[in-house]
Structure 1
Amino acid sequence: MTLPVINPFPGTSSSAFDAVDTWVFDLDNTLYPAHHDLWFQIDARMKGYISDLLGIPPDDAFRIQKDYYRRYGTSLRGLMIEHGVEPDAFLAHVHDVDLSGLDASPRLAAAIEALPGAKIVYTNGSERHARNVLEKLGIDAHFAAVHDIVAAEFHPKPTEEAYLRFLRAHGVDPTRSAMFEDLARNLEVPHRLGMVTVLVVPPDETIAARETWEFEGREDAYVDHITEDLAGFLETVARTAPPPVNEPD
Structure 2
Amino acid sequence: MNVHSPTPADFAHVREWVFDLDNTLYPHHSNLFSQIDVAMTGYVSELLQLPREEARKLQKDYYRQYGTTLAGLIARHDVDPDDFLEKVHDIDYSWIDPDPALGEAIRALPGRKFIFTNGDRKHAERAARQLGILDHFDEIFDIVAADLVPKPAGSTYDKFRAIHRVDCARAAMFEDLARNLVVPKSLGMKTVLIVPHNFEATFSEIWEREDVEDQVDHVTDDLAGFLRSILPGL
TM (norm. structure 2) is 0.93
1:28 partnered with 2:10:
no
Q: Deviations over 1:28-86 (max 9, x none)?
A: 10001111121000000001100111111111111111111122111101110111111
Aligned partner of 1:178 in structure 2 is 172
Aligned partner of 1:226 in structure 2 is 219
CA distance in 2, matches of 1:206, 1:219: 19
Residue-pair matches, total: 230
Q: 1:206 to 1:89 in 2, by over 3 A?
A: farther
- Counterparts of 1:4-19 in structure 2, within 5 Å, are 6-9=3-6, 13-19=7-13
Contact 2:18 2:113 in 1 (8 A): yes
Two-structure CA RMSD over aligned residues (Å): 2.0
Q: Deviations over 1:102-153 (max 9, x none)?
A: 2211100000011100000000001001001111111011000010000111
Q: 1:224 to 1:214 in 2, by over 3 A?
A: closer
Any stretches of 5+ residues in structure 1 without a counterpart?
242-249
1:60 to 54, 79, 85: 54
Q: Kindly provide the amino acid, as one letter, of the partner of residue 115 in structure 2.
A: V
CA distance in 2, matches of 1:235, 1:21: 16
Contact 1:30 1:200 in 2 (8 A): yes
Query: Offset at 1:7?
Result: 1.2
SS of corresponding position for 2:192: strand
Aligned partner of 2:100 in structure 1 is 106
Contact 1:25 1:31 in 2 (8 A): yes
Q: Deviations over 1:135-175 (max 9, x none)?
A: 11110110000100001110110010110011111110111
CA distance in 2, matches of 1:186, 1:179: 9
Name segments (4+ residues, structure 1) moved above 6 Å.
212-215
2:152 to 158, 161, 166: 158
Query: Offset at 1:101?
Result: 2.2
CA distance in 1, matches of 2:141, 2:116: 5
Any stretches of 5+ residues in structure 2 without a counterpart?
none
Greater fraction of residues in helix: 2
